[in-house]
Chain A
Amino acid sequence: MGVLEHKFQDNVVVASMDKLIGWARSTSPWFFQFGLACCAIEMMATAASRHDLMRIGMIPRSSPRQADVMIVAGTVTMKMALRVKKLYEQMADPKYVISMGSCATSGGPYWQHGYHVLKGVDIVVHVDVYVPGCPPRPEALIEGLLKLQEKIQAERPLTRKSV
């Protein structure tokens, strides 16, 4: 993909190619099976029978190389922060990050005295969607994923960026 990215003038063909790529990427966002804390249990519950993430095409992958979406589910600590960053770097482009729960978003309940808690995962990686809640309900996570799909579909991967 790399060589073709943002190389074309906007026209009908490029726009529909963009749309096709957006469709493929948004329809099959394989997520990274990577749980940190409490939210991981809710993430598992979301992927399990009742809520079933596979409905929107999400399949868990345990290797970062094959995943498209990293759901940072839980508190990121100082000890873990650099590992999260490394995992993010190991993912192949295009990659997306969902910050699930208030701990990942801002430190959450550990904001004030958590000397060892990273106050928001966006300090180390780029976050696309924030899902609030402690922990977010499965419905909230699915809503976050749908928002991510919207975001992916709105992307124009081939079109040259206007400066």
Chain B
Amino acid sequence: MTVDTLMNWFAKLGDFPELAFILAVLICAVPVFLFIAVYALVAIYGELKISSFMQDKVGPMGQGVGLHAGKWGLLQPVADALKLILKEDIIPTSADKKLFILAPFIVFIGAFIAFAALPFNQNIIIADMNIGIFYILAVSSLGVIGLIMAGWSSNNKWSLYGAMRSAAQIVSYEIPAALSIIAVIMLTGTLSMQGIIQHQSGFVWGILPNWIIFQNPFTFLAFFIFFISGVAECNRTPFDIPEAESELVAGAFTEYSGMRYAFFFLSEYANMFIVSGIAVTAFLGGWQSPISGILNSPAWGLWWFMSKAMFLIFAMIWFRWTFPRLRVDQLMNVCWKGFTPIAMVNIFGVGIWHLMLG
């Protein structure tokens, strides 16, 4: 179900390559959008429930009068979404209208187009580009522009703080994340997402699956650097200083209401999925099953990919409800004095290990 397949199919019908391309992209975009929406609903419900169980609560239970949110509150996120869509859309008079309107969509697009290169299984990938991982890292930083636009155009001091903080944070944490990915690319020798996954079949040291995280100690470290930087890029606790509820009210989103706010919400969860998706692809064997050769059909591939990604998302939720928040300068210290040097050294380590033992 890649764009290429669709275009080939259109090519058989007639010679209109531009139109075929647009059609193919649109056809692919609809399921991705639906996927994000459904996934976000599930993830929000999961977050509410998981956090509640961690906090000795029960979370949404659909209690209430008359029509309620279903058994165990299963329809809670649906109601939330519907309500947000139906809410009044406030654009503050002092806001910069164009940017204010545009910002949520740019943030969302950054997350949305990154889905194009995520390999859900052997076949499901919108576009298996030969620069896949590079593409994702590049476009997922688009979100930061949207955040700055949101913060600046709101004309609110809290938003401005949130935007400035998030800009500094996201741009900084790109570096250790990218450096960790370089280690992976050195081992696999390809930038293509499918190529990286195919490289990880088989076993290492007899028992462990041949995932990159297990291939040598340096990649093991690289995974954690990447994942923590990824959490930071998603603005999740302990790195949620751009949103920092107890300090900045709601950070860059302070002035947003209704549907625009829902888009920020959606993109936050979409970003979480992308970070998890890259981590799964690059370090945890993507759609490969833990026991290579068994349960490796495309359907199982989807299952493995999703379950690995969901586990990482669970870990993010777990962090959020456990840790306090870092301060902005400590956050920068962690990045520039901790992760970046380690990630640099890591590259050499991976290379030397690969040369000596690989």
Contacts and interface: CB of A to CB of B under 8 A. Distances in A.
A52 B57 contact: yes
Contact of A92 (B55, B61, B78, B258): B258
A61 B254 CA distance: 10
B257 A149 contact: no
A79 interface: no
Contacts, number: 114
B250 A19 contact: no
Interface in A13-71: 19-28, 30, 49, 52, 54-57, 59, 61-63, 65-66, 68
Contact of A49 (B57, B73, B82, B249): B57
A150 B66 contact: yes
B242 to A, nearest CB: 14
Interface string B245-274: 100011001111110010000000000000
A62 B67 contact: no
A153 interface: yes
A19 B67 CA distance: 9
A23 B64 CA distance: 11
Interface string B48-62: 100010011111111
Contacts of A56: 61, 63-64, 68
Nearest to B59: A54
B168 interface: no
B69 interface: yes
Interface stretch (B83-91, B225-233, B304-312, B337-345): B83-91
A1 B86 contact: yes
Interface in A110-163: 146, 149-150, 153
- Chain A interface SS verdict (over half): helix
A39 B261 CA distance: 29
Contacts of B69: 27-28, 57
Given A21-B86, A54-B52, A94-B87, A66 B261 contact: yes
B257 A55 contact: no
A68 B83 contact: yes
Interface residues of A, number: 34
A30 B78 CA distance: 14
Nearest to A25: B83
Question: Which of A24, A59, A146, A150 has the most chain B CB within a 10 Å cutoff?
Answer: A24
B83 A153 contact: no
Given A23-B79, A49-B57, A57-B73, A66 B256 contact: yes
Contact of B66 (A59, A63, A149): A149
A59 B89 CA distance: 20
A144 B3 CA distance: 54
Contact of B82 (A24, A59, A65, A90): A24
Contacts of A94: 87-88
A65 B57 contact: no
B90 A65 contact: yes
A65 B104 CA distance: 15
A123 B253 CA distance: 31
Contacts of B4: none
A57 B66 CA distance: 14
Contact of B261 (A22, A27, A49, A65): A65
Question: Which of A55, A59, A65 has the most chain B CB within a 10 Å cutoff?
Answer: A65
Contacts of A55: 58-61, 63, 73
Contact of A63 (B79, B80, B253): B253
B76 interface: yes
B263 to A, nearest CB: 13
Contacts of B294: none
B67 A27 contact: yes
B42 interface: no
B65 interface: yes
Contacts of B124: none
Contact of A52 (B58, B66, B82, B261): B58
A65 B64 contact: no
17 contacts: A23-B67, A24-B79, A25-B83, A27-B76, A28-B69, A28-B76, A55-B60, A55-B73, A62-B245, A63-B253, A63-B255, A90-B90, A92-B89, A93-B87, A150-B65, A153-B65, A153-B66
Interface of B: 48, 52, 55-69, 73, 75-76, 78-80, 82-83, 86-90, 245, 249-250, 253-258, 261
Given A2-B88, A26-B65, A59-B80, 8 more contacts: A27-B79, A56-B63, A68-B87, A92-B87, A92-B258, A93-B88, A149-B66, A150-B65
Listed from nearest, the 5 A-B pairs whose CB atoms lie closest are A24-B82, A27-B79, A93-B88, A92-B257, A65-B257
Interface of A: 1-2, 19-28, 30, 49, 52, 54-57, 59, 61-63, 65-66, 68, 90, 92-94, 146, 149-150, 153
